[in-house]
Amino acid sequence: MFTAQNYVMASSLEEAYTFNQKKANAILGGGCFLRLSKKRIHTLIDLSALSLDKIEEFDEEFRIGAMVTLRDVETNDALRASFGDGFYEMVRHIVGVQFRNCATIGGSLAARFGFSDILTFLLALDCEVELAHAGRMPLCEYAAMKPDRDVLACLYVKKNGRRAVYQTVRQTKTDIPVLACAVSVLNGEYRAVVGARPARAMAVSFDPADPDWISKTVNAFSFGSNMRASEEYRRHLAVVLLTRAYNAIREE
């Protein structure tokens, strides 16, 4: 468990940004992952007073605040109406309801966890993030950056009709994934995302008309070994899960 000397309820994003410039300070998301660290934090920065706990639907996109919990996106009717079971599938294996009532979308994205179900699925959709200083940028660009001192305010998910299917393999039901895959399609253009390689999720485009699409797609990703699985097994799983996801999307 970390220790913290001070606590500040930020009254604006700018104030949160200013506090977050000090390396000894940390933003408090849901606290689920932070509590596993032994960091000695000077000031905890809380974004709870900035109305970032809302899911708002607009004509062309959803805005999901950084403090929205994983359980909120799982059970939100508007997200379900636009993306079917996608958001539910994205989070339903993550520990349990109590954990998902704590963990936040902002915390999950800002940490850019290699094992992230959330990053893998969201990279299959067309998303942007909004940061206190850098402004809006595509999620794929943000995901590829090293964690920095900017403050993630919200996530935007485009309502452009892109359909996505999410697949994972886990050793036990609530563990982090051995491999996470998503396939999406918009106007006949396909995208494959692979996460928990065990490195962080990445997206590539593919053309299913090419008879070698699956081997070419899998070869576009690097895989590694860790305590959960070998590189070879992950590579094999990627073929299986991407094929399943592609077949599922074709059958929809």
Partner 1 sequence: MVVTITVNGTKYTDDISPDLPLLDYVRSKGCLSVKRGCETSNCGLCTVHLDGKPVLSCSVLAVRANGRQVTTLEGLEEEARAFGAFLADEGGEQCGFCSPGFIMNVLAMAHELDDPTDEEIREYLAGNLCRCTGYQSQLRAIRKYLTSKKEG
Q: Does 96 bind partner 1 (CB under 8 A)?
A: yes
Per CB under 8 A, which region of 43-51, 55-63, 150-158, 191-199 contacts partner 1? 43-51
Q: Does 173 bind partner 1 (CB under 8 A)?
A: yes
To the nearest whole angstrom, how small is the minimum distance from the Cβ of residue 25 to partner 1? 12
User: Which is closer to partner 1, CB of 41 or CB of 155?
Assistant: 41
| Sign of the dihedral through C-alpha 81, 87, 92, 98 | negative
Per CB under 8 A, which region of 3-11, 109-117, 139-147, 204-212 contacts partner 1? 3-11
**Whole-number Å distance between alpha carbons of 120 and 114:** 9
**Residues that contact partner 1, how many (by CB under 8 A):** 29
Phi, psi of 239 (to 5 degrees): -60, -45
By CB under 8 A, what part of segment 15-34 binds partner 1?
Answer: 28, 30-33
**Whole-number Å distance between alpha carbons of 216 and 8:** 50
Phi, psi of 91 (to 5 degrees): -115, -10
Q: Does 37 bind partner 1 (CB under 8 A)?
A: no
Residue 176, both tokens:
């982090």
Binding partner 1 (rule: CB under 8 A), the pick from 36, 78, 137, 144 is 36
**Whole-number Å distance between alpha carbons of 228 and 189:** 33
Phi, psi of 136 (to 5 degrees): -85, 140
Residue 114, both tokens:
């290699």
Binding partner 1 (rule: CB under 8 A), the pick from 80, 92, 158, 159 is 92
User: Which is closer to partner 1, CB of 5 or CB of 247?
Assistant: 5
Binding partner 1 (rule: CB under 8 A), the pick from 21, 48, 222, 225 is 48
Residue type, 196: A
**Whole-number Å distance between alpha carbons of 177 and 168:** 6
Sheet holding 55-57, edge to edge: 55-57, 61-65, 152-158, 127-131, 135-138
Per CB under 8 A, which region of 98-106, 145-153, 229-237, 242-250 contacts partner 1? 98-106
Binding site for partner 1 (CB under 8 A): 1-7, 28, 30-33, 35-36, 41, 44, 46, 48, 71, 92, 95-99, 101-102, 173-174
